[in-house]
Structure 1
Amino acid sequence: MDQQQATERAEEIIRQAVDGMSPKPTLKRTGLAPVGACVADDHSAGERQQVALSYQLTGVPGSEAKKLVRQARDAWVKRGYEFQGSDGDWSDPFPSVSMRTVPDDFWMTALTGVVDKAKGEGLAAISVTSPCFAADGSGGSGGSATAEPSAFRGTAPDEPAERRARDHSSRLYDALRVRHAAPREGEGLATYRDDTGAYAHHAWSTEPLTEQAMVRAVAGARAHFEGLGWRVRQLPGTTGVPGLAARNATDGTVVRLAPASDGVLRVAVATPVADPGVRVA
């Protein structure tokens, strides 16, 4: 797959969701440029890319947002696409649903952002993200796997980077609307160095969640990051609920959310250290 093929397929998935909608919305592009570095390769040199398209469904009453999200879900189900985790909670006035195409593995989300909670008015949005592909169009895997922080060397703390990592963590915590758990071994704040540079790493976990609560939390995180213009990519998980990776193009921060088998949502925030000459301890 190359950039053109990925873009055309992502646009097709959007059209499949929107063409039969009633009332008919107007698509408003949101987010960053549609083509960027593969979010899953946050420590790579950019060998792989991916396409990410996000649209708000505007020009319709706010009371119709839930209906539009459900229509998108129905259109994708009709084409044999699969759910990531469970179906949306349609008793919720602001539902969301995450799915993937078969067999080419594009990931998409239809969700409802809150406009007026008291009146039940929202704003529907749709996003589609392609699998990662080689930047040169060769189709090679490229990129490099992201090792666990324990595989990296500790460095002297970098206060500005650690502050940025904590700030991103704090804002995400507010968006998730779930309680955090007591720190586990290996969690907390530290500064590391690997072959690509140094970065501040902040790791923490939520309390155990039900599957529905986990789906809502991950969807809320996606809405949070997309609203801030971050590039977002869903990631395969070890449970029925997919994980999430998001990258901030401004400061290079990468956030990963990983649903675990014990029901907790594990969060890792990695913010690059601005000074490449940071001294290794």
Structure 2
Amino acid sequence: MDEQQATQRAEEVIHEAVDEMSPQPVLKRTGLRPVGPCLADEHSIGERVQVRITYQLTEVPGHVAKSLVRQARDAWVNRGYDFQSADADWSDAFPAVHMRTVPDDFWMTALTGVVDRAAGDGLAAISVTSPCFAAEEAASADPAALRTTADTQAERSTLEHSSRLYDALRVPASPTGRDEGIGTYRNSGDTYAHHAWSTLPLTEEELVRAMTRAQVFLQTTGWVVRHVPSRGVTPAIIARHPEDGCVARLFPSAAGIVRIAVATSSAAEDSASA
């Protein structure tokens, strides 16, 4: 697969969900350039990439956003696609659905962002992410893009992203435990600022809602998001920021605790500011 094929298939999956919707929304493209590093490669330097395309479903009343998400779900189910996790909680005014195509394994999300909570108005959006594939320019990657600089900018970005995730989760944090807090580590010659923390134990309902809020925040702010099976009641989330390359991980445990880890490469920060 190459970029053109991945883009065409992602668009096809989106239109499979949207073309028969009623009322018919207008697709508004969001996000930066759709091709980015492979999210599965934590410290990727460009050997593999993936395509991610996101559209807001606009020019429809806010109260139909939930219905549009359900229609997307139904269209994908009718094509034999699988759920990545349990079906959405349709009692929620702002549900989210996470699915994958079969057999080519494109990952897609239909979700509702809050516009007016009191009125129940939302804005539906659809995102499709391709599997990873080889980057055409990998062989000519510039080693200068990987140079390591001072850690202060990476540390600042890491803490800012971690703070925003705390705001999105809206649940209490536990006291800093062993191997938590801010620190640095090295991997393959690169230096990373790393911040880890955990929530207090949550009920099953609180956990699902907190992870959904984090998912909506990440999707609507341009992060590339992937779900990973976990021992908790909802999949773990791994996300990469499109500008500074920060990687965030949210892992729910069977005990109801969400463990959050955020890491930013000093080299990526230096490259972004150059």
Q: Identify whether the pair has TM-score above 0.5, normalized to the shorter chain.
A: yes
CA distance in 2, matches of 1:95, 1:204: 27
Alignment correspondent of 1:84:
84
Q: CA deviation at 1:240?
A: 5.7
SS at match of 2:263: strand
Alignment correspondent of 1:241:
234
SS at match of 1:40: coil
Q: Which has the higher contact order (CA 8 A, sep 6+)?
A: 1
Question: Following superposition of structure 1 onto structure 2, how do residues 1-281 of structure 1 map, counting pairs within 5 Å?
Answer: 1-136=1-136, 158-239=151-232, 241-273=234-266
Cα deviation per residue 1:216-269 (whole Å; 9 max; x = unaligned)? 333322322233223333334455633222222332321122233333222111
The worse-fitting range, judged by mean Cα deviation, of 65-74 and 41-50 is 41-50
Whether the aligned pair in 1 keeps the contact of 2:80 and 2:102 (CA below 8 Å) is yes
CA distance in 2, matches of 1:18, 1:203: 39
Q: CA deviation at 1:74?
A: 1.0
Alignment correspondent of 2:144:
none
Stretches of structure 2 lacking an aligned partner (at least 5 in a row): 138-149
The worse-fitting range, judged by mean Cα deviation, of 55-64 and 162-171 is 162-171
SS at match of 1:39: coil
The worse-fitting range, judged by mean Cα deviation, of 242-251 and 123-132 is 242-251
CA distance in 1, matches of 2:90, 2:210: 16
CA distance in 2, matches of 1:196, 1:90: 47
The worse-fitting range, judged by mean Cα deviation, of 203-212 and 9-18 is 203-212
Cα deviation per residue 1:40-92 (whole Å; 9 max; x = unaligned)? 21312211010101110001000111110111111111122222221111111
Stretches of structure 1 lacking an aligned partner (at least 5 in a row): 138-156
Whether the aligned pair in 2 keeps the contact of 1:86 and 1:215 (CA below 8 Å) is no
Matched AA of 1:220: R
Structure 2 length-normalised TM: 0.85
Whether the aligned pair in 2 keeps the contact of 1:84 and 1:240 (CA below 8 Å) is no
Q: CA deviation at 1:214?
A: 3.7
Distance 1:85 1:275, change over 3 A: closer
Whether the aligned pair in 2 keeps the contact of 1:177 and 1:217 (CA below 8 Å) is yes
Distance 1:110 1:214, change over 3 A: farther
Q: CA deviation at 1:121?
A: 0.6
Q: CA deviation at 1:130?
A: 1.1
SS at match of 1:201: strand
CA distance in 2, matches of 1:37, 1:21: 32
Distance 1:64 1:4, change over 3 A: same
CA distance in 2, matches of 1:97, 1:167: 28
CA distance in 1, matches of 2:269, 2:109: 37
CA distance in 1, matches of 2:268, 2:114: 40
Q: CA deviation at 1:5?
A: 2.2
Q: CA deviation at 1:110?
A: 0.8
Whether the aligned pair in 1 keeps the contact of 2:180 and 2:196 (CA below 8 Å) is yes
Matched AA of 1:32: L
RMSD: 2.5
Whether the aligned pair in 2 keeps the contact of 1:96 and 1:216 (CA below 8 Å) is no
